Amino acid sequence: MAGIREQKKIETRQAIYTAAVRLFADKGFETTSIEDIAKEAGIGKATIYGYFANKDEIFLYYCDNQLSDAFSQFKQDSLEGRPVLEKLVRFFMLKFCFVTQNPEFGRQMMREMIFPNHNSPQAQQHDQRYFEILDSIFKDAQDQGRIGEGHDRFMLSVHFFSLYLGMVTGWFKGYVSKPDEAENILRILFKQALEGVQI
C-alpha cells in the first residue's frame, strides 16, 4: 500500500508548522521552545528534526509564506503608470509591514535572511523571487525611458535593496521609530539614488 507514510508525512509537517505559527504568534520566537511546538503538535520533540533541519528553518518557512503572500498582493496592485520611485517605495513598504508587525520576528528574520548561519536553498529561492519583482520594475522603467539602458538591472536591484536594508537597520537600532518616518527615509534615499548626489 503506497501512501500511508507519505500521507502522514505531509500531515505531520503541517501539524508542526501550524503549531509553530500559533505559538510564535502567541509567545514570540525565542520564548517558544521546540518542546512546546512538539507538545502542541502532539508528537515527540525529536520528531520535529525529521521535518525541519532546525528551529530557524521552521521560522524561515513561516516568513517565506508570509512574504509570498505580500509579493503576490503587490503584483495585483495596479501601479501601472506610476513613477519608479512610487513603485519601489510601495514594494519595500509592503515588506516592511511584516517587520513592524512583530519586531522580534522581524529582527530574527532579517538576521537569518541577510546573514544566514545555515545557507539554505530556501533563502536562495526567496531571494530570487524577490529580485525578479525588482527586475520587472526596472525593466518597465527602462522601456519607458525613465532609467538609462546602460545600467545593469541586477545592480539596480542590489542598490535599492541595499537602501531598504539600511533603513531597516536604522529601525532596529532605534534611530527610526515610526513607519511614516521609515517611508520618508526610504523616499529620500531612493531619490538620491535616482537623481544622483554629485554636482
Partner DNA sequence: ATTAAAACTCGAACGCATTCGAAAATATTG
Partner DNA sequence: CAATATTTTCGAATGCGTTCGAGTTTTAAT
DSSP per position, 74-123 = HHHS--TTS-HHHHHHHHHHHHHHHHHH-HHHHHHHHHHHHS-SS--HHH
- 15 or 193: CB nearest a second copy: 193
- Phi and psi (nearest 5°) for 121? -65, -30
Give me the least distance between CB of 28 and DNA, in Å please: 11
**Rounded alpha-carbon distances, angstroms, from residue 139 to 75, 91, 133:** 15, 15, 10
Q: Which does 44 bind (CB under 5 to 8 A by kind): DNA, a second copy, none?
A: DNA
- The span from the CA of 158 to the CA of 147, in Å, is 15
Q: How far apart are CA 54 and CA 78, in angstroms?
A: 39
Contact status: 63 vs a second copy (CB under 8 A): no
Angle between helices 84-101 and 103-114 (to 10 degrees): 120
Q: How many chain residues touch a second copy (CB under 8 A)?
A: 44
Task: Specify the residue for cell string 536604522.
Answer: 170
Nearest residue (CB) to a second copy, 25 versus 113: 113
Question: Does residue 120 belong to the site contacting DNA (CB under 7 A)?
Answer: no
Stretch that binds a second copy, among 21-29, 36-44, 54-62, 165-173 (CB under 8 A): 165-173
Shortest distance, position 188 Cβ to a second copy, whole Å:
6
Going by C-alpha positions, the residue among 97, 157, 89, 99 that lies closest to residue 127 is 157
49 is a contact residue toward DNA (CB under 7 A):
yes
C-alpha 68/C-alpha 83 separation (Å) is: 24
Our finding on whether 169 is near DNA (CB under 7 A) is no
Tell me: does residue 21 bind DNA (CB under 7 A).
Answer: no
Q: Does 97 bind a second copy (CB under 8 A)?
A: no
Interface with DNA by CB under 7 A: which residues? 1-6, 8-9, 12, 30-35, 43-47, 49-51, 54-56
Residues that bind a second copy (CB under 8 A): 84, 107, 110-111, 114-117, 119, 123-124, 127, 145-148, 151-152, 155-156, 158-159, 161-163, 165-167, 169-170, 172-174, 185, 188-189, 192-199
